[in-house]
Structure 1
Amino acid sequence: MKVAGEASETDSEDEEERARRLASESHQQMLRKDLPPLIVIRNTPATASGQEDKSSPVSRPDSCRFNTLLQQKLQESNARLCADVNQSLKQVYQNAARDVRQATAHLNNSQTGIINASHSIRLILEDLKSVSEKIDIITS
């Protein structure tokens, strides 16, 4: 921050500001080089009634029709692409949901098997205790 009549606190602040300014200018120039010129088509009453300027390439009927047709084709292509992307995402989601359902079913089956095995082991242990007690009675 500079106050009128005072020197800046450090010289690096001025250098940083210059570097930022140069970077933003070069970025703006690069953007200008990469972009094609913008063509604006306006549907004004003058061009709609046939009083168009023949010297302007933008206002030619062929040029307007081409741009309109191009825009229409781009819109159709965009709509197809959007539908395809939506369909792909829907398919991926449905496949993932099916996989989750299958994994849940497998886990439920495994849990049921473990519960049944645990119950059987508990019954076997009770039978073994009973047999052990009977053997102790016989031996004593």
Structure 2
Amino acid sequence: MLKGFKEFILRGNVIDLAVAVVIGAAFTAVVTSIVNNLINPLIGAFFQASTLDDALVVTLNGSDVKFGAVIGAIINFLIVATVVYFVFVYPLNELKKRAERLRKKGVVEPEAPVTELDVLTEIRDLLSAQQSPPSGTGKHADPSV
């Protein structure tokens, strides 16, 4: 059981996930700061409130319903989603598309290792070239026929 746990922890995916969580937390702190210190005050100024959390507050039976805080959270989410899309998702999708186009054209990237399929394809092409009659001689390669 401990051996299985050790293998799980030392897997590359777990380490990558841990790094992603740490970077994500740091990134969230930056985005939250931008939203709280820049965007919320600008939007709050339109509603005559110091921050968006203080804007659009409705009091019902002594309880405050803070619509501005919800709007701020939505704005925070949209900013994070926008940055993640344009910094990570879009560039990676473009790289995948480019790699797919190169693969369809038959261009092999220089660092790509030669596979058995590549070698077999090359052998097939060489054998095919040896067995085909020379061009321009018609059906028979022997001129005496």
TM-score range, shorter chain: 0.3 to 0.5
Higher relative helix content: 1
| TM, length-normalised to structure 2 | 0.33
Question: Rg: which structure is higher?
Answer: 1
Higher relative contact order (CA 8 A, sep 6+): 2
Point out the structure with the larger strand share.
Answer: 2
